[in-house]
Structure 1
Amino acid sequence: MIHVEKIDNTIEELIITGIIVDTGFLQNIDRAIRPEYFVTDVNRILVSWIKEYFKENKVSPGEEITDIFRLNQGELDEDESKTVRIFLNKISKEYEGREFNSEYVLPKAFKYLELNAYDYKVKLLKRELRRGNLEKVKHIFNGATKDIFEQVTAWKSLSDISLLQSWWGEKQEPAMSFPGELGIYMPNIERGRLYAMLGPPKRGKSYWLMEWAYNGAWDGLNVVFFSLEMASHEVDARWKERISAKAIMPRRNREFTIPVKDCVHNQKNTCQIEQCTSPGTCVYEDKLRESYDDHPEHVACTYCEGIDDELFKPTYWMEKTTLARLSLKEASTTQEQFDDHVGKDRIRIITYPIASATVQDLENSLNELERHENFIPDLIVIDYADILKEDLKLGDKRHRVGDNWQKLSRMAKVRNAIVVTASQGNRSSAKKNRLDVDDVSEDFSKVMTIDGIFAINEVNFDQPDKWQVDKNWQIQRIETIALRYGKFTPGLQCVVMNDLARAQIHIDSYISWK
């Protein structure tokens, strides 16, 4: 079956696309769809074809809509055939393999069909009034409200087998995922949820939010990125570094340090495997790992990874490499390659000065994007929620901040989208090795509103030996500290290696206990 999430024309084409590609959407809306509720003759004909197919097969036509068109093409004139052909080609070529956001479109579709249903009834009334047929006028008038209610009502009965059929058998897969063991560690990321990265100032929250945007787009989602701190050119610069893995700003010696996965047995010279890359070398002094500068001879080894979990004990090491700065040509080429994979214009950005945008401003921007470009986001990234403008009428700051987070949760549910943002940790969080929910700043009600909170930890910040500090090894430890849906294990973390000089927040990762 074809799956669609983006339409470039009217609400009618959005509805028709949904009933072509999404059986669940068609099952839910079939009772409300009548060909006469659509404006154009072409749309009325398409709806009648699809309803007839659904009546016989109990599924949406999907790719078979092309065969239906060929069989019934004689009902259309030349211009109508051309219009239908262009529309169907758009679906099959541009949107194949992408999910249709039925939960968001459904209420819009019902509202549109309800208005058109009343408009149609009014036309029937006027016709019979002109004819002077009082009995038919009464019949239409008295039955109109009940008929339309039955067609468009949101009420459902648990005895209705069609409700069961509309969701049974759906694949319970995450809407997006992350690479490496981070993807294994993270819970299922689902539509209609509000997620947040938690960290003290300068911990890389904006880099993490861009990583969400990157992986969401890579998985085929429509993404919007609201920046409440950076200008559009700053967002674009960081984005180009992320997708190219090259820095825009030049370095004097062009040298970069890149953390890599290694094995503890390799570093302690306790490995007995002949394929070990650094036999005879030990990078530990007593129980402390020494600097990579002191051991240029050491070579990281992951030979046993995935072969023998008892032999492979993951840790990290550092390698040095020389990279030229990102050129304009490379930036353009990399963007084109990314677009070839995910589709052009998959990510949209908009920026606001700090504390100038309200949640309603964000909603208005999303509505404009949908109205003018029919772009419906699946992933909404906000960098970041704590600096949204607050409603001063709500009293103290805690309540104002909490109100913004509640509105973001509503945004996720109404739009059936993933909403992800960041929360600033409180003052004491900057001096902690592990963050928890008590480190969420301002209103604690945020914890009860957010569906998943992921702490960005960096341990041993206060060690006199800088080589015992995560930051100097370009290491962060992601830990789930709150999750509304699903289970998580306190203390289980994902160690993530990064190089922020090139906007690479995730180079590699492994799961570890702390």
Structure 2
Amino acid sequence: MTETAQFEFDQSFQTKVAALVMRDTNFAMNTKDLIKPEYFTEDAAGALVRIVHEHVKVYRAVPDMKILPTILKDEIAAKRIRSDMVDPIKKMVRTILTTDLSNPAFVQDKVTDFAKHQAVEGAIMSILPLLEKGKDWAKIGQLMKDAVSIGSVTDGGDYDYFDEIRNRTQERHDLKSGKVIRSGITTGYAAIDAYLYHMGWGRKELSCVMGAAKAGKSMSLGDFGKNASMAGYNVFYDSLEVAKEIIAARVDAALSDTMMRDLHKDPDKVEAAIKAIAAKSGKFKMRDHASGTLKPSQLNRLLEQYRADGIIFDLVIVDYADIMAAEYRSDSLQENLRTIYVDLRAIAYEANCALLTATQTNRDGAKASTAKATDVGDDWNKARTVDLMLGINATDAEKAANEARLTWLLARNGESGFSLSLKQDRSKMQFITKVLGKV
């Protein structure tokens, strides 16, 4: 074996490997010790893989397309990218962005087999001189043991707390300087993001909006979804309560600043408003299912189908979890709900996305001016499972003034027990027109 050994895969498969490294955090984390830049026949692919691996080691996530240009500029300025490689790298990025990301497990297995073969071959070459000398059997044994143990990581990888302080410090310096941004998916409101640990909905986390019937839960989910899409993130919205056409009409009203009942009066104006926004937005895909029919496994399959088309979602919204179907239905409503919420959180982790849903308050919470976390309907396990729970509250006087409060009921990584006062325009399906302040 030589140090310049290259993949035995064809060029399209190598491009797929590079695309998965660049765009799929789980794949990049699982294979970061298996894939070397010199394995690629195209230097541009190898350079991009090196850059992503270095980023992943510090931030434990692949760089999104918003910060990749900054990273590339820094690499060029530091002369880590040759001037003659700039155009090929830009071309490779464009190719990677249109490469499908299907069957990552199959690709991972193939990459693992290649890396294991290279490791064993390298170990044999190192062992031969030792065998000729007829000694150092312990080292020979260790070389072979290390080689055959090569494999992909599937659990998020080892994390050495003390050694990783260097990477945590680098990340904090970069956050402070603005070189990178937190990995959260923005709510669309800086005043709300400021109170969220990730400066938005957390990836690999399950967030939940709680409110009484007709409190505006679906309106809030649609609002947060369209804001994330407008910020360039890919959003998937699955509704089990309201038809996708109605969700779309609500977003039309909010984006075009038109009352829901007046959307038909000037449809060209509404269309123009949406098209102007679409050009700079991420994907915003919607589906609907009958209440009680969507299982977590079906949701996961849908996300995998989109992945095969090259779409990885940053924010997944389920409207709402309480009326999903448990994977294995039991006679206990509480057990069904518990497993639904646990499974949704697992999907968020495995897909490296933020998952947002909603839940109902119980009767006591619906009567209270400010519902508490203990007022969650049907099962307290929901509150125990989610990473963040926000409550929608409004007195009759607040409703009359087109106001409401968003209350931090539970937060795994931050403070809770406070509210932000909001201005709304429900006639235009605008959940928030202004954040009035902390109350």
Place the TM-score, normalised by the shorter chain, in its bin.
Answer: 0.7 to 0.9
Shift of 1:337: 1.3
- Are 1:176 and 2:186 matched, yes or no? yes
Q: Secondary structure at the match of 2:334?
A: helix
Shift of 1:454: 0.8
Corresponding position of 2:296? 359
1:477 maps to a residue whose letter is R
Distance 2:334 2:29 in 1: 44
Corresponding position of 1:203? 215
CA contact (8 A) 1:37 1:116 kept: no
Over 3 Å counting, the alpha-carbon distance change for 1:359 and 1:35 in structure 2 is same
Over 3 Å counting, the alpha-carbon distance change for 1:364 and 1:13 in structure 2 is same
2:421 pairs, out of 495, 500, 509, with 495
Distance 2:265 2:148 in 1: 60
In our comparison, the structure showing a higher alpha carbon Rg is: 1
Corresponding position of 2:111? 113
Shift of 1:481: 1.0
Corresponding position of 2:84? 71
Over 3 Å counting, the alpha-carbon distance change for 1:333 and 1:52 in structure 2 is closer
Shift of 1:331: 2.2
Corresponding position of 1:158? 160
Q: Secondary structure at the match of 1:221?
A: coil
Over 3 Å counting, the alpha-carbon distance change for 1:506 and 1:409 in structure 2 is same
CA contact (8 A) 1:25 1:106 kept: yes
Corresponding position of 2:35? 33
Corresponding position of 1:330? 269
Over 3 Å counting, the alpha-carbon distance change for 1:406 and 1:496 in structure 2 is same
Corresponding position of 1:257? none
CA RMSD of aligned residues (A): 4.4
TM-score, with structure 2 as normaliser: 0.72
Distance 1:476 1:222 in 2: 28
Shift of 1:429: 2.3
Corresponding position of 1:378? 314
Distance 1:118 1:210 in 2: 47
CA contact (8 A) 2:37 2:50 kept: no
Distance 1:169 1:24 in 2: 22
Within 5 A, what are the aligned runs for 1:341-352?
341-343=280-282, 346-352=283-289
1:222 pairs, out of 234, 252, 260, with 234
Over 3 Å counting, the alpha-carbon distance change for 1:207 and 1:111 in structure 2 is farther
- Are 1:440 and 2:385 matched, yes or no? no
Corresponding position of 1:313? none
Distance 1:54 1:192 in 2: 20
Corresponding position of 1:471? 399
Q: Give aligned pairs, total.
A: 382
1:420 maps to a residue whose letter is L
Deviations 1:249-285 (A, max 9, x none): 23xxxxxxxxxxxxxxxxxxxxxxxxxxxxxxxxxxx
Q: Secondary structure at the match of 1:342?
A: coil
- Are 1:245 and 2:173 matched, yes or no? no
Corresponding position of 2:435? 509
Corresponding position of 2:18? 16
Shift of 1:508: 1.2
Distance 1:223 1:144 in 2: 46
Distance 1:180 1:27 in 2: 30
Distance 1:12 1:218 in 2: 32
Over 3 Å counting, the alpha-carbon distance change for 1:145 and 1:233 in structure 2 is farther
* Unaligned residue ranges in structure 2 (runs of 5+): 1-10, 59-67, 122-131, 133-141, 176-180
Task: Give structure 1 regions of 4+ aligned residues with deviation exceeding 6 angstroms.
Answer: 18-28, 35-38, 51-61, 105-109, 119-122, 142-145
* Unaligned residue ranges in structure 1 (runs of 5+): 1-8, 74-80, 96-104, 125-134, 136-141, 251-323, 462-468
Q: Secondary structure at the match of 1:224?
A: strand
Shift of 1:235: 1.8
CA contact (8 A) 2:420 2:435 kept: yes
1:387 pairs, out of 323, 335, 343, with 323
Shift of 1:203: 0.8
2:248 maps to a residue whose letter is D
1:369 maps to a residue whose letter is Y
Shift of 1:239: 1.4
The range that moved more, 181-190 or 430-439, is: 181-190
Distance 1:52 1:35 in 2: 6
1:169 maps to a residue whose letter is Q
